Amino acid sequence: MPRPTGLLRNALRSLALVLTLMTAGMATAQAEATRYPLTVENCGHQVTFEKAPKRVVAIGQTQTEILYALGLGDRVVGTAVWFSPVAKRFGAVNAGVKRLADNDPSFEAVVAQEPDLVTAMFEWHVGPNGIVGKRDQFTRLKVPAYVSPTDCVGKDNTGAGDGVRTQMFSMELVYRNIREFGQIFDVSARAEALVAELKAREDKAVASIAGAAAKDVPVVVWFSSKDVKGDAFLAGKNGVPAYILAKLGARNIITTNEEWPLVGWETVAVANPAVIVVVKMDRRRFPADDIDLKLNFLKTDAVASKLDAVREGRIVVMEVGATRAGLDTIDGIEALASGIKSFGLAK
Return phi, psi of residue 318, to 5°.
-120, 130
Cis peptide preceding 37, ω within 30 of 0: yes
Among 1.10.357.10, 3.90.1570.10, 3.40.50.1980, 2.60.40.1220, name the CATH number for the domain at 212-342: 3.40.50.1980
Q: Which span out of 27-36, 182-191, 242-251 was modeled with the highest average pLDDT?
A: 182-191
pLDDT digits (tens, 9 = 90+) for 158-216: 887 788 999 999 999 999 999 999 999 999 999 999 999 999 998 888 887 765 555 68
> Residue 341's pLDDT is what?
83
Q: Is the pLDDT of residue 306 over 90?
A: yes
Mean pLDDT over all residues of the chain? 90
> Residue 30's pLDDT is what?
60
SS (H, E, C) 23-35: HHHHHHHHCCCCC
> Residue 211's pLDDT is what?
55
Q: How far apart are CA 135 and CA 149, in angstroms?
A: 15
Q: How far apart are CA 278 and CA 258, in angstroms?
A: 19
pLDDT band with cut points at 50, 70 and 90 for residue 10: very low
> Residue 19's pLDDT is what?
54
Q: Is the pLDDT of residue 27 over 80?
A: no
38-203 in CATH: which number?
Answer: 3.40.50.1980
How buried is 109 (Cβ within 10 angstroms: 0-12 exposed, 13-18 middle, 19+ buried)? middle
- Enumerate residues 6+ apart whose C-beta is below 8 A from 136: none
Domain boundaries in the chain?
38-203, 212-342
pLDDT digits (tens, 9 = 90+) for 247-262: 988 999 999 999 999 9
pLDDT band with cut points at 50, 70 and 90 for residue 115: very high
> Residue 31's pLDDT is what?
74
How buried is 88 (Cβ within 10 angstroms: 0-12 exposed, 13-18 middle, 19+ buried)? exposed
Identical fold for domains 38-203 and 212-342, yes or no, is yes
